[in-house]
Structures are given as structure tokens and as C-alpha cells.
Amino acid sequence: CEILRLNEDPNVQGLALDLPESLYSSKVLNAVKPEKDVDGLSSVNLGRLVRGDVSDCLIPPTVGAVMELLEDLGGKRVLLLGARGALGAALQSELQREGAAVLSCHWDTPQLQSELRHADVVVFGSMKPNDVPVSWMKPGATIISCAHNLLSGKRGQGLHFSSPVRERLKLSNMVKNMERWIQSQQSRKWDLHCLKLQPLSPVPSDIEISRAQSPKAVDVLAKEIGLLTDEIEIYGQTKAKVRLSLLERLKDQPDGKYVLVAGITPTPLGEGKSTVTIGLVQALTAHLNINSFACLRQPSQGPTFGVKGGAAGGGYAQVIPMEEFNLHLTGDIHAITAANNLLAAAIDARILHENTQSDKVRIILSYPDDNFSSQFFKKRLGISKTDPETLTEEEISKFVRLDIDPSTITWQRVVDTNDRFLRKITVGQANTEKGLVRQAQFDIAVASEIMAILALTTSLQDMKERLGKMVVANDKKGEPVTAEDLGVTGALAVLMKDAIKPTLMQTLEGTPVFVHAGPFANIAHGNSSVLADKIALKLVGEKGFVVTEAGFGADIGMEKFFNIKCRASGLVPSVVVLVATVRALKMHGGGPNVTAGAPLKKEYTEENLQLVADGCCNLQKQIQITQLFGVPVVVALNVFKTDSPAEVDLVCKIAKESGAFDAVPCNHWSAGGRGAVKLAQAVEKAANQKNSFKYLYNLELPIVEKIRIIAQKVYGAQDVELSPIAQSQVDRYTRQGFGNLPICMAKTHLSLSHQPERKGVPTGFILPISDVRASIGAGFIYPLVGTMSTMPGLPTRPCFYDIDLDPITEQVKGLF
């Protein structure tokens, strides 16, 4: 249907129907989207008109023309004749609003003559039958015809309006529609219906809290924050993908303030960065009435079923529904897994076929009929011929052989499960693989370069180009082999075409959240997507805030956020929120080790000011790292019931003395957004401070020098030491032209050094670089510090022991 097609056309802002009267059915009128209804006859528009929401509706042109002809209707009797359906309802509503007593009837009404005799105004909604004479009208009555025929006779004052009047009013409605559309493109304070919280004490489990709240329908949330109907793709009741076309619509909109949440060096006690992120936006929007958006990473199912659990925040500062957030979401990680493993299969299949087929057979099988002229190899190899019969043997070999060196393959298969037995595998053992056996491995899905690309890309075209640039191996001459060389770029883009769209969800208090991308911070760059941030910054408007989170400590996730993500996005952060807890600082101060599931020792549950003071060295170091980038820092101290007031005061005092703009105790875990209002106010003030943001290093520096700057200035190392393998890789990447990429250090997150057991602020150590690899599509070089595994393992007591499903209610149990 043409109406439905025009409804979805973003270039059409209004629809005016010009149809025969017989086709003006309710079904046709309501097929037009309410926001594009110029005739004003849809049920939605009429409902607003009847309710008196005049500013939010359009007056149907015919109704407007009638009202222009009438004056001083107060107390007058108006008879509507033959005015049915939407037109009749709109006329009756407007006439009553002007004080008239309105009666509506049909031409065959038995008492019609009597009603006409008493009516001061008669409005014909359809053609007058010949058997109803004008002599029935009250002398002096005003008679208006909305139909196309004129009165056959005249008694009293007979009026009619011509098509130009109707068209003028229709054009007026079109102008109003366009004004509304223009207004919708501009930033505004959201009319957001926030959800009420009733915090309980003691605080229930995360999943109990999540389940006790009734989230808004996601299409309602989308409308509240300024998304158009055709800009969302709904998944169930509480999730929706947001289309990238929004960026084009809002391209002239000023961005909001950009806030990064980072933390001190993590401990098993947890710091609560995700909880702070959610608590902060709940405070900003639900309690301070400031537009704000949280942008979070999608959690991997590895930690969810392994040791860490979910990543939706916690307590009364969560993303809901938390089970949907933590399990599958909208399938982005599955899409990455499929794309990654398709490329892995293409590599091995290519090696097999090149080893078992002649060049001529390969060109016949690979490029049948007229497909030869469009193949991707031509551009790379500079072959301009369109007829395969004219190729020389050298050109044929060059065309159909990549000559991949199996020993140089860096592309691994992935699965989104912690499975230590896949860390080293052998592939190609079946007889059908002709003895092409090689050692390989599986990585966890979120470690895939495709995940890093998803997080750093700026458009569908950019993603496709990045996918094509991914280097998977070298050929036997030492030249890089890419996904584009394998001919798989287009297929990868198809698999990723929906995953590139951020997923919209909400917090416990009904404020918006984008969940998108989920690279780990210790083996990747550890930040949510550039696209989610960019869209959110447009939606919140100039005075709003976008709060995003960097993985692990500031030395890892924040450093990569600034040096990698900000370079890719061009965005400049306004504030860093640095998260700490008293008990985590005690561990950095020399407190005893913590065993998962075991009761905490008294050092963590009783006041110990010396231990806190000693541990603040790590907080001070992370503040100093933030200051390297010239961005104001606010310390958020997550308060636990075992923290004494003196311990809390001591941490805040040391933080401010160490250069923090402010340091604020927070209780959002137990109180929701209300417990983070002071933090929100501090962040708002800090965002107005002078910002002298700068990168840590120049991209033109040699690879080793960039590694050294990070090691010395961020980690506090004395120097770096590259293994022979690492040095040869640096030399190779430099020779291949990849030396000007930023650095993404793959390092333990549990210490500033490479040794996880060294807490606090280690000094005097030499940072060992065991290997150096390249993610050319994502756009960074990643050195491996010491021994780093890209496939986690399951612990003795994994989280999946507690996870279950109620077969009656279908409710998930045991997630946290």
C-alpha cells in the first residue's frame, strides 16, 4: 500500500489524502501515521482534539473552514446533518468547544423537519437529498455545506466554502507538521516518566529487585527520549535496536557532556563501576531532571556462567530486565561468533583448495561465467582483464593463490564460553583434509577483533572497510593476508548488519541505557561502542550527560578509552568518575587475601584507618594517571555498611588532596538514584571546569617507544623488555606499514604491574613483552605482557551451579 510505504519514508513529513468519498473509511484514515496525518482525521489526532489537546493535534481542514465561517456560537443550536465518522466527531467537538449546543442526525431522521426549524446553524456533511426542501430551515439560519454540491434553493443566509479555502487550511496543517518535525530534531528536556523505587532493607538480591520493578514498554521510552517510530526495531517488550539513520537526522545537534567511569585497580572485593554508572544516570535524570544516558558493554556469557556473574549493575542501580541484559540480549555476540568463525573456516578451506587443485581448475570453479570481471582480487593485484582466457599462467597463479603460510595464522575460532580445554587444539585431522594438520586455539568471543571493530566503528561503511582490513596471516613472502583477500568481507558485513545498531534498555528508575559491544579491557580495549556514545550525545542535547564505563582500572580501560576510543570517535570527555571502595583500598594497603564465598576477615569489616591510608596509594596513582590526560576527576566512593564514617572521610580527604575535583560518598546500591545525587551534582560542576584533554603519545612514534611511554607513565615501570618474538613482530608490522597505530596493552588487570599479586603501587619493575600482535581492522597494535590467556577457564565453583529455570513461570533463577 502506498500509504504504508510513505509512512516509512523519512523524507516525507506529512500525508494528505485526496480520495473519492467512498474510500474514506476508518481503516484508510488510520493507516496514516499520526505524526504524518495532515488531514487530522486519524483516531489518534481526533482523540487529542476531543480531549482538548489543541497544541498536540491538527484541526481537519474542512472543520477549520466551517469554524472560520461561524462567529459567536455561544448558546446557539447547531444541527449537523449527514456528517458521519471522523469528520462528524471533529465538527461536534470544535462546535461544542465554542459553546454551541450540537445535535447530529442523518437525513432520514423522522423528526428532521422539526430539528431544522429550531436550528440556528445547519451544517451539511454530505449532499442534501432533493426531498428535503430549504423551506424546512429556520428563517435567518446560517447554512453551511461541507459537501461538493450547493443548496438547490436559499432561505436565510446560505454559505459554502470553495476548494481553495480547504487547500489553504490543509497547507497550514502541513506547515504545522513541518514545524513539529523541525522541533523534534532539536534538543529538549525529556518528558520522561521515571519509575518509582521503594528500597527495602536489607537489600534483596539483584534479580529480586529487577523482577519487582515493572519496566516501561521500550517504544514508550523511545518516544520519551525523542526517537521516531521508524528509528527503532523492537525486540520483545523491553529491548529495541536503534537505527543509525538517527545520526544523520541529528547531525546538526550539539553534543551533551561526556563522562567516563573508571576505577582503582580491581580486587576480588569489587568496586562497582557499573553500579556507579547506573546510579549516576538515575540521579541525574530521575532526581535532578537532567537528560542523561548510560552506555554500557554487553556482558559475555563466559563470566556470567563462570566466576564474575552478570554486569547489569546491582542493588537499586541496575539495568532491567537484568536476565535479558545478561543472557543473549539481541544476539550481537552470536553474530560476532558467526562472522569470526566464517572467516576462520575460509582461511583453512582456502589453504586446502590451493593445495589440492591446479590453478586452472581453481579459476574455473571460483569465477564461472561473467563473474570474473567483478572479483575483489583485481584491484589488489592490478589485473584489468575481464576474460579469464586471456590471463597468463603467472597472472592466473597470482589471481587464485594467496599462498598463506599456516605457521603465521593469527585468526582463531571463538566461542562465548569459558572453556580452558580449547586453549590449544589441533585442526584438520580428518582424512578429508589431506593431512593439512595444524595447531590452533579458541578465544572467547568477546576477544575477537570483530568485537573490537564493532566497538570502534563509526558507520556501516566504516565497519565494512575495517572488516576487510583484518589481517589473518602472512603469505609465504611475508606479506599480510586480509579478510578482503579471502573474499569474505561482504558476508561478514551481512552477518554484522544488525549487530551494529545499539540496543536500548532502561534502568530501575526508567532512564535510558544503550547496551552495545563488549570487548574485555585486559585483552582488548574494554569500552562500549563509539556509535552508542555518539547517538546518546545527540539525544541528551547540549545540557545533557552521557555516562559510559571503561573496563577494570583506570590504568587499563581508561588509558585505552583515551588513546584508542577517543582517537576513533573524535569525542572529548568532560569528566572522569573514579570509583573506589574502602575495603578494596584496604586490600591495596596490605589487607589479607580474599577467598570467594568465604567470610571476610575482620580487617575488612572493622575500622582500620592505617590500612585505608596505606591503600589510598593506588587511588592516588589512578588520579595521577587521569591527570596525564588533562581531564577533571571526581572520586565516587561506594559505601558499604561496614565502612566507618572516619574511613569514608579519610578516603575523601586524601582524594581531594591528591588532585581530585571532588570526592563523594555514594549509597545508590541501597537507595537508587537518590543515593548518588551529590555525586551527580559534583559531576555537573566538574563538567563546567576547564578541560585540557590531550593524548598520552604521538602516533608517529615508533611502536616500542609508545609501549614504553604507557609502561613508564601509566604503570610506573622502570622500563620494558621485548622477547625476540615480540621484537621480530614489531619489525614486521613496522615494515608492513602498521607502525602508526595506537597501542592496546594486553595485561593483567589485577595489578599496575604484570604480576597480579602485587597490589598498591608497585615500582622498579621491568615490564616483559612476550609477543606483539596486530588488529589492523580495529586499528591498534596489541603487545602481550607476560602470560595472557584469551580464553578464560571455569573455576572450581562456577556461577552456573546457581542458575536454574522454573518450568512453570519460565523465570530465571540464580543470576547475579
Catalytic residues: 273, 275, 297, 308, 521, 552, 640, 669
Residue 812, φ and ψ in degrees, nearest 5? -85, 135
User: Among 332, 343, 342, which residue's Cα sits nearest to residue 496?
Assistant: 332
Whose cell is 568463525? That residue is: 341
How many CA atoms does the CB half-sphere of 495 hold within 13 Å?
Answer: 20
Helices first, then strands: H and E counts in the chain: 31, 28
Q: How many residues does the chain have?
A: 816
Q: Are 398 and 774 in contact (CB under 8 A)?
A: no
Which alpha helices (H) appear in 658-772, and where do they start and end? 668-671, 677-687, 703-709, 724-735
Residue 454 carries which side chain, given as an amino acid letter?
L
* Strands 503-507 vs 239-242: parallel, antiparallel or unpaired: antiparallel
Alpha-carbon distance of 287 to 466, in angstroms, equals 41
In terms of Cα–Cα distance, which of 670, 698, 706, 569 is closest to 209?
670
- Tell me the three-class secondary structure of 73-86, residue by residue: CCCCEEEEECCCHH
| H helix runs in 8-97, sequence order | 26-29, 43-51, 61-69, 85-97
Beta bridge partners of 103: 79
Q: Kindly list the distances between the CA atom of residue 355 and the CA atoms of 41, 242, 297, 434, 798, in Å, as whole numbers in the listed order.
A: 70, 45, 42, 9, 44
Q: Look at strands 480-482 and 471-474 and give their pairing.
A: antiparallel
DSSP 397: H
Grid look-up 546518546 returns 536
Peptide bond into 321 cis (omega under 30): yes
**Beta strand 142-145 pairing with 157-160:** parallel
Q: At what angle do helices 85-97 and 43-51 cross, to 10 degrees?
A: 20
State how far the alpha carbon of 566 is from the alpha carbons of 129, 168, 531, 563, in Å.
Answer: 74, 51, 12, 6
Cα gap 628→494, rounded to integer Å: 41
Specify the DSSP class assigned to residue 375.
-
Could you count the other beta carbons within 10 Å of the beta carbon of residue 359? 18
- Alpha-carbon gap, residue 801 to 304, rounded angstroms: 11
CA dist 499 and 333 (Å) reads 8
Written as one string, the DSSP assignment of 433-466 is GTT--EEE-EEEGGGSHHHHHHHH--SHHHHHHH
Cβ 632 vs Cβ 691: under 8 Å? yes
Grid cell 576477544 in the structure block, residue:
447
Beta strands in 389-440 (DSSP E): 413-415, 425-427, 438-440
> Could you give phi then psi for residue 274, rounded to 5 degrees?
-65, -40
Three cell numbers, residue 708:
614504553
Rg (CA), the chain: 34
Q: How many CB atoms lie within 10 A of CB 186?
A: 12
Amino acid at 497: K
What backbone torsions phi and psi does residue 143 show, to the nearest 5 degrees?
Answer: -120, 125
- Rounded CA gap, 359 and 344, in Å? 23
